[in-house]
Structure formats: structure tokens, C-alpha cells
Amino acid sequence: MPAPDRGTALVTGGTGFTGHHLLPALAQAGYRTISLAKPGETRADKLLHRVGDLLQQDFLEAVLADTAPDIIIHLAAISFAGHQDLGELYRTNILGTRALLAAAAGAASRPRILLASSGGIYRPDSSRPLDEEAAIAPGNDYQLSKYAAELLADQFRDRLAIRVVRPFNYTGVGQSDSFIIPKIVRAYRHRDSVIRLGNIDVERDFSDVRDVVAAYVGLCEAPGEDTVNICSGDCTSPRAVLAGLARMTGHALEVEIDQRLVRHTDPPRLMGCNRRLRSLLPGWRPRPFRETLAWMLEDEPLPAG
């Protein structure tokens, strides 16, 4: 049976890691999709891209007037916490969000907004899973910018239906190896002899990008405007990932701890609570993380030897 017509979905940051997986999932669910991309970031595919600057409200207003989206999924952000240009990070993540919300508030279609924040904004607490009522205490510039974007959203709730989602760590095929899981997978995939890492015993809640995307698609239709965590509700450590990939590949990899990569303030364990998400989307379940690692390994054939 053909997918139902769910209207038009506009995705900011659609050419990024998450958008690459989200756009086809939205299309499969019955949405007409439009990707908003920065100049030079379009892909050679059949998706409809609108190219322009997220900071230019007149550009955003023109796009919304022309496309009349029913929902906007706002992913566009600088997501690497170690990004060197803090001015660019804050302009993109805060002022870009404000420009988008202002344009949406004035659009005739009055689109619903799914605003991607971060599970990293919570105060670290190793003693329990972090639910949506946990204390907020951003610990770096990226997290601070995402929480500021949430506060901005509150200024538009009288004019727009906005749902904030707080994804915890997630990974998958296509993520930059500046992030730790793709870095480790790449080392095993290419039979490297040595890998240099920082903290390998901290435990974090990692999800598969495909599960995050499924949650985004489901939440486009879920009622309400409450904030929702997107997380696996489980934890793993880089040490466990290293051991799992060693078993999967049969490759021995030497790990060197690079003190320049060690963050001594890292809490030992951070895990999210996904109870609210599962109540809104009863069919949603995170897949075992070993399936994610296998998928990432299989994305490129292992070298011989």
C-alpha cells in the first residue's frame, strides 16, 4: 500500500549526518521532503534542496512562503563540542534557531516545529537514568548553545506548536570519525595497528541513528508539545566497544591513551531515560548496540589480511 500523504516536511541541516538518514525515512512515511542546506553542502541525489544561510531571515521567509511546510525538523547546528570557532557555533545554534522560529511564526502555514536539542544539557548524575525533569547544567559551549535554543523556543510557543527533543549520544554509518565510535570502527575496519584515545572507561548512552530517526518521524505525528529524551536507556564504554569490535573482526588493536584527549571532568556514567518516548511511541524500541557496530563495519569491506 502507498504511504499516506502526511504533508510537507522541511529539514534544516538535511545534508548532515542525521539528515542523510532522516530525509528518506520521512519520504517513506509519506512526507514530501525539503532539505535546507548551506551553500556547497548539497548532495548529488534526487532530494529537493533549498540552499541558503540559516541566519538570513528573509531567505527563510521566502522558503517557507514557497514550500508551505506542515512541519519543520530543525537539525542544523554545529554539533562537535570541540569546534574552534565559538562565534560560528553560537551564531549557528542560537541566532540561526531564532531566525527560523521567527520566520515560521510569520508563515501562513504555521508549521509545527520539532527542535533538536541535546541530552548533554543535563547536570551529570551517575546514580540514575536522566529523565526530562532532571536538573539542567550545560557543561560546554555546544550544550549551552542548545539550551539557549530551548529557551528561545519558549518565546515563540504562543505562536507555534514546538516540541523539543533531547537526543543523547548516537552514531551510525556516515558519522564523522571526529566522534569516538566511528573513529574506533574505522581503526578496526582498516586494520590499523594503533589507536589513540582519551577516556575509554566512561559509560555513555549510545543510540543507533536509525532509531533516532524513527523517533523523529514518529514524533512528527505524536500529540502534545512536551520535551522528549531520545536515548537507548542503556550504557556502554569505549573499552567495551573496542572489545566487541575485536571479537567481530578478529583484529588485535593496540590502544594508546593520549592525555591530550583525556577529559578529567568526565562523569563516569551517563544514561538517559526513554520512558516518555516509549509512552508516546509504543512500537519504538532501540536496537542492540552490537547491531549498530556490525552495520558500521559492513559499510565498507574489511581489508584482507
115-139 pLDDT, tens per residue? 999 999 999 998 999 999 999 999 8
Strand, helix or coil for residue 16: coil
Contact 69, 34 (CB under 8 A): yes
For the chain, domain boundaries: 7-172+206-232+273-287
The single-letter DSSP state of residue 91 is I
Which DSSP helix (H) or strand (E) runs through 209?
Answer: helix 209-219
The single-letter DSSP state of residue 88 is H
pTM of this prediction? 0.93
pLDDT-derived band at 83, boundaries 50, 70, 90: low
pLDDT-derived band at 242, boundaries 50, 70, 90: very high
Q: What are phi and psi of 31, to 5 degrees?
A: -95, 145
| pLDDT of the residue at 53 | 87
CATH number 3.40.50.300 is the correct assignment for the domain at 7-172+206-232+273-287: no
